[in-house]
Amino acid sequence: MVLPLLKLGTLALKTLSKPIASRLKAEAGKHPKFRNIIVNMAQANHRITTTMQRRIYGHATDVEIRPLNEEKAVQAAVDLLGEFFVFSVAVVALFFEVQRNSRSEARKEELRKKELEDNVQLFSFPLYNYRQVFDPLIV
């Protein structure tokens, strides 16, 4: 019963993260200090990705890369921020799912070990009794 509810909760969390990311995107461009930070982040991201693309295609990389205008930079940054938020929620959900599965597997392994030990004790007891009976007869 717990497994379906946990899976449903994870799915709901992923689904709810998308509107939260949209709200975060809408609010991010409105605050002046935060706007400056994300514009700088977007410009740096633009320079890095453009340089990487130029290297991949074999173009010269020592050329000056024109910066994005402020609105495009804000849009690129908030899109990146929203995607990062959704991705982070998915990673955290995956992390907790893996932890839950490993705990479940550890419990199953512990039960298997206990069952194996019980079987060893069960099968070794009659052998011990037979040795008590037959060892004196062999000598």
Over residues 79-94, mean pLDDT = 83
Distance CA 103, CA 50 (A): 44
Specify burial of residue 50 (Cβ count, 10 A radius: 0-12, 13-18, 19+).
middle
* pLDDT exceeds cutoff 90 at 107: yes
CA separation, residue 91 to residues 48, 87, 88, 94, 96 (Å): 25, 6, 5, 5, 9
Give me the domain span that covers residue 61. 2-138
pLDDT at 18: 76
Over residues 81-110, mean pLDDT = 87
Over residues 2-9, mean pLDDT = 68
| CA–CA–CA angle 112, 115, 131 (5° rounding) | 140
pTM score, two decimals? 0.59
- In this prediction, residue 1 has a pLDDT band, given cuts at 50, 70 and 90, of low
- What total of structural domains would you count in the chain? 1
Over residues 43-63, mean pLDDT = 90
- In this prediction, residue 129 has a pLDDT band, given cuts at 50, 70 and 90, of low
Which carries the bigger pLDDT value, residue 8 or residue 43? Answer: 43
